[in-house]
Amino acid sequence: MSGRITEVLEELRRGDLSAREELLQLVYAELKRLAAIQMNDQPAGHTLQPTALVNEAYMRLLGDGKSMAWESRAHFFRTAARAMRSILVDFARAKTALKRGGKAPRITFNEEIMSDGALTYELLAVHEALERLEERDSDMSRVVELRFFCGLTVEETGRVMGMSERSVYHVWEHARAWLFREISR
């Protein structure tokens, strides 16, 4: 499998965009597996650690990855952020039993047991709004995926996006305001 992913990344680097979907599926499957392990093995109250998960997925799929071209690493992380978003959204959906229409119940546990704060509900709203943002500006939506869903810092996001920190910050602030406006409409 690790061989296949290297190939896919190489195809992508050469500009074969059809490989994108395959990469996403590979990374998603691996992350989902790791996330399940991470959540099941831990007592309740444990927080999913996306950055750690993505790094672990990277290690498992690509070894130390030192030989990796910069673009391939970036591709991997962008894809992983996207996959992470799906995982978290699935997670939130399952938990809030969204089938019950718009009135997603909030689940706020105190102290020891998991508490997912007021954000569970917002998380799904962010996801929906982000779909609309994607249509307008893919940079903005990617930055949100990396920062919010994947938990990367501004600096890490800059490396993955090939942007200066300053630019990441500006795009991020723009996206936050945009999404907030969209959600609170």
Q: Is the CB of residue 139 less than 8 Å from the CB of residue 157? A: no
DSSP state of 149: I
**Minimum distance from CB of 153 to another protein (Å)?**
10
Q: Is 145 within 8 Å of 81 (Cβ atoms)?
A: yes
**Residue closer to another protein (CB basis): 64 or 112:** 112
How far is Cα 74 from Cα 167, in angstroms, rounded to an integer?
17
Smallest gap, in angstroms, from Cβ of residue 154 to another protein?
A: 12
Specify the residue, 72 or 96, whose C-beta has the smaller distance to another protein. Answer: 96
- Which of residues 72 and 157 has its CB atom nearest to another protein in the complex? 157
Shortest Å, Cβ 114 to another protein: 5
Residues that bind another protein (CB under 8 A): 43-50, 85, 88, 92, 95, 97, 99-123, 126, 137, 139-140, 144, 147-151, 167, 169-181, 184-185
What's the burial of 152, exposed, middle or buried (CB within 10 Å: 0-12/13-18/19+)?
buried
